[in-house]
């Protein structure tokens, strides 16, 4: 019998910003002023909308990916990501695993292609494999 704890069932990306109108506006003002940043936002968004490359990547990941803001995290995601945002977590049968943290995401300089490469490399390094069951 094969263990499923090392299988990625889905991914959760946690932005380093609050959601909702107030949170989005605060982030936008902070971004313009240079007092707020979110490397995951830089990967997924350009201006006020999602990047085409990001939308194109989603089906290629092989698992669903949920994106949440700080104030939208479940208790489990909050515990796994506290003081480590932005980040990307793998949801496995064995629990949540941080694949990419703030430093790794910042090093991508907003590149979707580099994000995909870094994500796959981090999963391999963590001993995780993609859920090919669907």
Q: Which of 95, 89, 91 is nearest to 122 (CA)?
A: 89
Q: Is 100 helix (H, G, I), strand (E, B) or coil?
A: strand
Give residue-wise pLDDT tens across range 69-95.
Answer: 999 999 999 999 999 999 999 999 999
* Predicted local confidence at residue 107, as pLDDT: 98
Over 90: is that where the pLDDT of 19 sits?
A: no
What is the pTM (predicted TM-score) of this model?
A: 0.88
Q: Is 9 helix (H, G, I), strand (E, B) or coil?
A: coil
Q: Which of 106, 107, 87, 112 is nearest to 97 (CA)?
A: 87
Give residue-wise pLDDT tens across range 94-107.
Answer: 999 999 999 999 99
Domains annotated for the chain, with CATH where assigned, are 7-130 (3.40.30)
Between residues 82 and 32, the one the model is more confident about: 82
Q: Distance (Å, rounded) from C-alpha 109 to C-alpha 115?
A: 9
- State how far Cα 23 lies from the chain centre: 18
Q: Is 1 helix (H, G, I), strand (E, B) or coil?
A: coil
CA of 108: how far to CAs of 75, 94, 103, 105, in Å?
28, 28, 9, 5
């Amino acid at each position: 019998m094969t263990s499923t704890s090392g299988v990625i069932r889905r991914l959760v990306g946690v932005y380093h910003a609050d959601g909702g109108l107030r949170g989005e506006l605060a982030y936008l003002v902070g971004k313009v002023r240079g007092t707020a940043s979110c490397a995951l936002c830089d990967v997924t968004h350009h201006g006020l909308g999602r990047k085409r490359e990001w939308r194109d990547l989603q089906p290629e990941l092989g698992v669903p990916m949920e994106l949440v803001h700080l104030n939208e995290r479940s208790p489990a995601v909050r515990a796994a990501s506290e003081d480590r945002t932005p980040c990307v977590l793998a949801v496995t049968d064995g629990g949540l695993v941080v694949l990419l943290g703030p430093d790794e995401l910042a090093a991508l300089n907003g590149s979707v292609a580099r994000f995909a490469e870094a994500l796959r490399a981090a999963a391999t390094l963590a001993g995780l494999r993609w859920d090919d069951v669907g």
